Protein backbone atom coordinates (compact mmCIF):
# COMPACT_ATOMS: atom_id res chain seq x y z
CA UNK A 1 0.00 0.00 0.00
CA UNK A 2 1.47 3.33 -1.04
CA UNK A 3 1.60 5.92 1.73
CA UNK A 4 2.63 9.55 1.49
CA UNK A 5 5.50 10.89 3.56
CA UNK A 6 3.01 12.72 5.80
CA UNK A 7 1.00 9.51 6.36
CA UNK A 8 4.18 7.65 7.29
CA UNK A 9 5.27 10.46 9.64
CA UNK A 10 1.82 10.48 11.27
CA UNK A 11 1.87 6.71 11.72
CA UNK A 12 5.32 6.74 13.33
CA UNK A 13 4.55 9.71 15.56
CA UNK A 14 1.17 8.26 16.59
CA UNK A 15 3.01 5.57 18.57
CA UNK A 16 5.38 8.03 20.23
CA UNK A 17 8.43 7.59 18.01
CA UNK A 18 10.44 10.26 16.25
CA UNK A 19 9.89 10.14 12.51
CA UNK A 20 13.49 10.17 11.34
CA UNK A 21 14.23 9.93 7.63
CA UNK A 22 15.56 6.40 8.13
CA UNK A 23 12.44 5.24 9.98
CA UNK A 24 10.22 6.78 7.30
CA UNK A 25 12.18 5.00 4.57
CA UNK A 26 12.06 1.64 6.36
CA UNK A 27 8.35 1.85 7.11
CA UNK A 28 7.74 2.80 3.47
CA UNK A 29 9.67 -0.26 2.27
CA UNK A 30 7.82 -2.55 4.67
CA UNK A 31 4.41 -1.06 3.85
CA UNK A 32 4.88 -1.39 0.11
CA UNK A 33 6.05 -5.00 -0.04
CA UNK A 34 4.29 -8.33 0.27
CA UNK A 35 7.54 -10.29 0.62
CA UNK A 36 7.82 -10.25 4.44
CA UNK A 37 11.50 -9.29 4.34
CA UNK A 38 14.19 -10.13 6.86
CA UNK A 39 16.44 -7.36 8.19
CA UNK A 40 19.09 -8.34 5.62
CA UNK A 41 16.53 -8.26 2.82
CA UNK A 42 15.41 -4.81 4.01
CA UNK A 43 18.98 -3.54 3.97
CA UNK A 44 19.31 -4.69 0.35
CA UNK A 45 15.91 -3.21 -0.55
CA UNK A 46 16.99 0.11 0.98
CA UNK A 47 20.24 0.10 -1.02
CA UNK A 48 18.35 -0.73 -4.22
CA UNK A 49 15.96 2.16 -3.53
CA UNK A 50 18.90 4.53 -3.05
CA UNK A 51 18.52 4.84 0.72
CA UNK A 52 21.63 4.97 2.87
CA UNK A 53 20.72 3.23 6.15
CA UNK A 54 23.21 1.54 8.46
CA UNK A 55 22.74 -2.04 9.60
CA UNK A 56 22.38 -0.96 13.23
CA UNK A 57 19.72 1.59 12.33
CA UNK A 58 17.71 -1.07 10.50
CA UNK A 59 17.79 -3.47 13.45
CA UNK A 60 17.00 -0.71 15.98
CA UNK A 61 14.12 0.63 13.89
CA UNK A 62 12.64 -2.86 13.43
CA UNK A 63 12.78 -3.46 17.18
CA UNK A 64 11.13 -0.09 17.92
CA UNK A 65 8.48 -0.64 15.25
CA UNK A 66 7.63 -4.06 16.62
CA UNK A 67 7.47 -2.89 20.24
CA UNK A 68 5.09 -0.10 19.23
CA UNK A 69 2.88 -2.37 17.10
CA UNK A 70 3.71 -0.85 13.71
CA UNK A 71 4.98 -4.18 12.39
CA UNK A 72 4.86 -7.85 13.32
CA UNK A 73 7.48 -10.55 13.27
CA UNK A 74 6.75 -13.53 11.10
CA UNK A 75 8.58 -16.80 11.56
CA UNK A 76 9.55 -18.78 8.50
CA UNK A 77 10.82 -22.33 8.79
CA UNK A 78 14.30 -21.14 9.81
CA UNK A 79 15.57 -18.98 12.63
CA UNK A 80 15.53 -15.87 10.42
CA UNK A 81 13.04 -13.22 11.55
CA UNK A 82 10.83 -11.75 8.86
CA UNK A 83 8.69 -8.61 9.19
CA UNK A 84 5.23 -7.50 8.10
CA UNK A 85 3.73 -4.00 8.23
CA UNK A 86 0.25 -5.40 7.69
CA UNK A 87 -0.75 -5.87 11.32
CA UNK A 88 -4.46 -6.68 10.93
CA UNK A 89 -5.61 -10.28 11.05
CA UNK A 90 -4.44 -12.47 8.22
CA UNK A 91 -3.03 -15.95 7.92
CA UNK A 92 0.59 -16.39 6.89
CA UNK A 93 1.34 -19.33 4.64
CA UNK A 94 5.02 -20.28 4.74
CA UNK A 95 6.29 -22.34 1.82
CA UNK A 96 8.74 -24.66 3.54
CA UNK A 97 10.81 -25.24 0.41
CA UNK A 98 11.18 -21.71 -0.95
CA UNK A 99 10.74 -19.89 2.41
CA UNK A 100 8.32 -17.50 0.69
CA UNK A 101 5.55 -16.15 2.91
CA UNK A 102 2.11 -15.41 1.51
CA UNK A 103 -0.82 -13.57 3.05
CA UNK A 104 -4.29 -15.08 3.18
CA UNK A 105 -7.02 -12.66 4.20
CA UNK A 106 -10.25 -14.28 5.29
CA UNK A 107 -12.66 -12.30 7.48
CA UNK A 108 -14.96 -15.29 7.92
CA UNK A 109 -12.10 -17.44 9.25
CA UNK A 110 -11.05 -14.65 11.62
CA UNK A 111 -14.56 -14.40 13.05
CA UNK A 112 -14.86 -18.19 13.45
CA UNK A 113 -11.53 -18.40 15.30
CA UNK A 114 -12.21 -15.38 17.52
CA UNK A 115 -15.71 -16.56 18.41
CA UNK A 116 -14.39 -20.00 19.30
CA UNK A 117 -11.60 -18.53 21.42
CA UNK A 118 -13.99 -16.16 23.21
CA UNK A 119 -15.92 -19.22 24.41
CA UNK A 120 -12.75 -21.03 25.55
CA UNK A 121 -10.67 -18.21 27.04
CA UNK A 122 -10.70 -17.56 30.80
CA UNK A 123 -13.17 -14.80 31.69
CA UNK A 124 -10.50 -12.27 32.65
CA UNK A 125 -8.72 -12.30 29.25
CA UNK A 126 -9.33 -10.27 26.10
CA UNK A 127 -7.86 -11.26 22.74
CA UNK A 128 -5.67 -8.45 21.44
CA UNK A 129 -3.76 -10.28 18.74
CA UNK A 130 -4.58 -13.32 16.69
CA UNK A 131 -1.66 -14.81 14.77
CA UNK A 132 -2.03 -17.85 12.52
CA UNK A 133 0.82 -19.30 10.47
CA UNK A 134 0.43 -22.32 8.22
CA UNK A 135 3.56 -24.17 7.10
CA UNK A 136 2.99 -25.86 3.76
CA UNK A 137 4.67 -27.42 0.77
CA UNK A 138 3.63 -26.25 -2.69
CA UNK A 139 3.10 -29.02 -5.17
CA UNK A 140 2.68 -29.02 -8.91
CA UNK A 141 -0.30 -30.95 -10.20
Closest alpha carbon to 65 in 45, 42, 44: 42
Position 56 scores a pLDDT of: 95
Q: Is residue 108 part of a domain?
A: yes
The 3-state DSSP class for residue 48 equals: helix
Closest alpha carbon to 8 in 33, 29, 39, 34: 29
CATH number, residue 126:
1.10.10.10
| Structural domain containing residue 45 | 5-136
Q: Is residue 141 part of a domain?
A: no
Q: Would you write out the chain's pLDDT as a tens digit for each of its 141 residues? A: 688 999 999 999 999 999 999 999 999 999 999 999 999 999 999 999 999 899 999 999 999 999 999 999 998 778 889 999 998 888 999 998 888 899 998 889 989 998 999 899 998 888 888 888 888 988 877
**Whole-angstrom distance between the N-terminal and C-terminal Cα of the chain?**
33
- Contact of 100 with 109, CB cutoff 8 Å: no
Q: Is residue 89 part of a domain?
A: yes
Total-model pTM = 0.84
Q: Is residue 13 part of a domain?
A: yes
Residues 6+ apart with CB under 8 A from 54: none
Q: How many domains does the chain have?
A: 1
CB atoms within 10 A of CB 85: 20
Amino acid sequence: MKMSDSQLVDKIQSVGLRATPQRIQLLRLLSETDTHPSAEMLINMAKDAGYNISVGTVYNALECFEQKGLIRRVHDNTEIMRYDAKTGFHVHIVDQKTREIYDLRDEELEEIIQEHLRKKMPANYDINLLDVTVYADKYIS
